[in-house]
Amino acid sequence: MAITTCVFDAYGTLFDVSAAARIAAEEPGRGALAAVQAELAEDWRRKQLEYSWLRAVTGDYVSFWQVTQDALDWAMARQGWDDLELRERLLALYWELAPYREVPFMLAHLKARGMQVAILSNGNPDMLDGAVDHSGLRSYFDAILSVEEVGIFKPSSRVYDLVGARFGCARDEVLFVSSNGWDVAGASKYGFRTVWVNRAGLPQDRLMADPAHVLNELSTIPELI
């Protein structure tokens, strides 16, 4: 069937999750952070994902905002930091993550082609609203879908069910795009057509299903429709 609906993961796919630490490190008086900002950003993101997986397995759901705070606390503790002001600054910046540079152009092309476009994210609604509004991308999305509706994180099939419930489309009418290999594997097994955005040039995950396409950024997504 023809693709009718393009669905994007948010964090790391549309929005640059490393931006919070990078921007904070450029501010005056942040020399200690500047020296380790890439490491801190990587630890923060890795723990954020790990905590979401563990909570999905155990059924111990909390909001993604709580997971994000817990992950940052771990990343800062690894550096030996107990700096409340820095913590609050990093968390504030997470609500204002910049989109990758190709994202506005790509979304505009999808809408011009009549696609239904949505976000499907682990993020809770207020986090996603903050990022979308700050980026100026609101007009491109027909829906912003959050796991908070079902109380479990991806890659649970209950999360992917939200797309069909919202748009009334068949699974093979959906092009699902994520920078997370595990998310793409879950969506591929579910029956979506998938794109893995492999910005870092990583090996493909050895999981239950493979992506239909692998790209290093998002600008050519409209060409796959």
pLDDT at residue 140 greater than cutoff 90: yes
Confidence of residue 17 (pLDDT cuts 50, 70, 90): very high
Do 53 and 115 belong together in one domain? no
What string of DSSP letters covers the chain? ----EEEE--BTTTB-TTHHHHHHHTSTT-HHHHHHHHHHHHHHHHHHHHHHHHHHHHT----HHHHHHHHHHHHHHHTT---HHHHHHHHHHHTTPPBPTTHHHHHHHHHHTT-EEEEEESS-HHHHHHHHHHHT-GGG-SEEEEGGGTT--TT-HHHHHHHHHHH---GGGEEEEES-HHHHHHHHHHT-EEEEE-TT-PPPP-SS---SEEESSSTTGGGG-
Do 103 and 130 belong together in one domain? yes
pLDDT digit string, tens, across residues 57-116: 999 999 999 999 999 999 999 999 999 999 999 999 999 999 999 999 999 999 999 999
Do 103 and 201 belong together in one domain? yes
Picking from 74, 94, 114, the residue at the C-terminal end of a domain is 94
pLDDT digit string, tens, across residues 212-221: 999 999 999 9
Do 103 and 186 belong together in one domain? yes
Do 154 and 81 belong together in one domain? no
Do 105 and 201 belong together in one domain? yes
Catalytic one of 9, 16, 43, 183: 9
* Predicted local confidence at residue 6, as pLDDT: 98
Tell me, yes or no, if 16 is annotated catalytic: no
Do 115 and 165 belong together in one domain? yes
For the sheet with 5-8, list strands across it. 143-146, 116-121, 5-8, 174-178, 193-197, 213-215
Confidence of residue 35 (pLDDT cuts 50, 70, 90): very high
CATH of the domain at 57: 1.10.150.240
Do 158 and 109 belong together in one domain? yes
Picking from 94, 117, 146, the residue at the C-terminal end of a domain is 94
Q: Distance (Å, rounded) from C-alpha 195 to C-alpha 208?
A: 15
* Predicted local confidence at residue 151, as pLDDT: 98
* SS (HEC) of 50-75: HHHHHHHHHCCCCCHHHHHHHHHHHH
As beta bridge partners, residue 145 has: 120
Average pLDDT over residues 4-8: 98
* Predicted local confidence at residue 225, as pLDDT: 86
Average pLDDT over residues 156-164: 98
Do 76 and 120 belong together in one domain? no
Give percent above pLDDT 70 in the chain.
100
Do 24 and 81 belong together in one domain? yes
Which two tokens mark 75?
């990343």
Q: Distance (Å, rounded) from C-alpha 160 to C-alpha 165?
A: 9
Picking from 78, 94, 110, the residue at the C-terminal end of a domain is 94
pLDDT at residue 1 greater than cutoff 90: no
* Predicted local confidence at residue 132, as pLDDT: 97
pLDDT at residue 24 greater than cutoff 90: yes
Rounded to two decimals, the pTM is 0.96
CATH of the domain at 180: 3.40.50.1000
Expressed as residue numbers, the domain containing 55 is: 19-94
pLDDT at residue 160 greater than cutoff 90: yes
* Predicted local confidence at residue 75, as pLDDT: 98
Do 89 and 101 belong together in one domain? no
Please give the tally of structural domains in the chain.
2
pLDDT digit string, tens, across residues 169-210: 999 999 999 999 999 999 999 999 999 999 999 999 999 999
Do 83 and 123 belong together in one domain? no
